[in-house]
Amino acid sequence: MTGLDLETFLRIDLPGGLSAMLACLACGVLGNFLVLRKQSLMGDALSHAVLPGLVAGFLVSGSRSTGPMMLGAIAAALLATVLIQAARRLARLESGAAMGVVFSILFALGLVMLEQSHARDVDLDVDCVLSGQLETILWLAASGWGSLADPAALAELPRQLVALAGMNLAVALFVAIFWRALKLTSFDPDFATALGFRAHRFELVLMLLIAAACVAAFEAVGSILVIAMLICPAATARLLTDRYGVQMALAAGISAATG
């Protein structure tokens, strides 16, 4: 049954493996900042907090297609991020508690929306939207190595893969442009503020990027993998090194290898 022939590889394993690798790469890099900021559980918090967005996306569009629901999910993730930052800053809550408060309330809100609307009678499978599965990322247009150079076949590449690649590009750009700022704000936000750098605002932007990346990765590879990938590579790297740059590189390497 598990014929390891070229076509199967190209159609099933390559897109899936590539998606996993890309997701892990983005998550591994971004996870560093979460671990450094003691917000490791952001991935988990987001995976719960997107529910109201999914339901709202469904209610607004009236369709079960993934697009609007993903938009809703991203909106909810961004909202959750803003609320978590607000809870930390204004309510002086420790970040774990802030995430717990925000995601549980948002999730409950989503549930009530689901029940109160007609969505409850629809077989709206939240897991489905959130739990992208590698196996279902297929590139059926592939027929051989030649397909890798064939524009028509390439156009048929799975959407999730393309989205992930885009996300990786965005992450890479962001990290490259703001390398020094990231370093400074991760290490000593107060000092950064003293230098006139808007650390809080920058942090918010960073967290929003992470939220968007998480949701994209949820769709492709599923939330549990995202949660793991956000923490494990960075934590492993943390054990191996004390140098910031080395940590980033290591985390990326580890996550790509895992993928």
Partner 1 sequence: MGAHDAAEIPEALGSFLAALSLGLGFNATVVVIGTTLLGLAAGAVGAFMLLRKRALMSDALSHATLPGVALAFLLGVALETDPRALPLLLAGATATSVLGVLAVQGITRASRIREDAAIGIVLSVFFGFGVVLLSYIQALPQGGQAGLKTFILGQTAAMRVPDAELIGAVALCALLVCALLYHPFRLVCFDADYGRVVGLPVTLVDLALMGLIVVVTVIGLKAVGLIMVVALVIVPAAAARFWTERMARFVPLSALFGGVAGWIGAARSASLPRLPAGAVIVLVAGVVFVLSFLFAPARGVLADAWRRLRLRLVTVRDHFLRAAFEQLEAAGTGAAGSFALADIAEDRGWSARHAGWIARWMAARGFAAHLPDGRMHLTPTGREAAQRVTRAHRLWEQLLLVQGAGRIGQAHRSADLVEHVLSPAMVAALEAELAARGATAQPMPPAPERSRQP
Partner 2 sequence: MGGDRGFAALRRRALLLGLAGGLGLLAGGPSALAQPRAQAQGARRPRVLATVAMIGDVAREIAGNRVEIATMMGEGVDPHLYRPTRSDIVRMLGSDIVFYNGLLLEGKLTDALVRAARAGRRVVPVTERLPAEILLKPAEPGGEGEQIWDPHVWMDPRLWSRVAAVIADTLAEADPPGREEYARGLADIQARIAALDAYAERALASIPDRQRVLITAHDAFHYFARRYGLRVEGIQGLSTESEAGVRRIEDLVALLVERRIPAVFVESSVPERNVRALVDGAAARGHRVAIGGTLFSDAMGAPGSYEGTYIGMIDHNVTAITRALGGQAPERGANARLAARATP
CA distance 167 to 156: 19
- Judged by CB under 8 A, the residue of 38, 62, 169, 173 near partner 2 is 62
Phi-psi category of residue 142: left, alpha or beta, with phi > 0 → left and psi -120 to 50 → alpha:
beta
Amino acid at 69: M
Interactions with partner 2, residue window 138-167 (CB under 8 A): 138, 140-141, 156, 158
Amino acid at 81: T
Largest alpha-carbon pair distance within the chain? 63
Instruction: Give the residue with the Cβ less far from partner 2, 104 or 195.
Output: 104
Token reading at 256: 């790509």
- Judged by CB under 8 A, the residue of 82, 101, 165, 205 near partner 1 is 101
Which segments of the chain does DSSP mark as H helices, in order?
6-8, 14-36, 42-49, 51-61, 66-90, 95-116, 126-130, 151-155, 159-177, 179-187, 189-194, 199-221, 223-240, 244-258
Q: Does 90 bind partner 1 (CB under 8 A)?
A: yes
Instruction: Give the residue with the Cβ less far from partner 1, 115 or 188.
Output: 115
Minimum CB–partner distance for residue 223 and partner 1 (Å) = 9
**Which residues, other chains included, contact 166 with Cβ-Cβ below 8 Å and sequence gap of 6+?**
none
CA distance 28 to 14: 20
- Judged by CB under 8 A, the residue of 2, 3, 4, 92 near partner 1 is 92
Residue 72, binding choice from partner 2, partner 1, none, Cβ under 5 to 8 Å by partner class: none
Q: Does 203 bind partner 1 (CB under 8 A)?
A: no
Q: Does 36 bind partner 2 (CB under 8 A)?
A: no
Nearest to 56, CA basis, from 74, 40, 43, 35: 74
Write out the residues near partner 1 by the rule CB under 8 A.
35, 38-41, 43-44, 48, 87, 90-101, 104-105, 107-109, 111-113, 115-116, 120, 224-225, 227-228, 230-232, 234-235, 238-239
Write out the residues near partner 2 by the rule CB under 8 A.
1-9, 11-14, 16-17, 20, 44, 47-48, 51, 58-66, 110-111, 114-115, 118-128, 130-136, 138, 140-141, 156, 158, 221-225, 227, 258-259
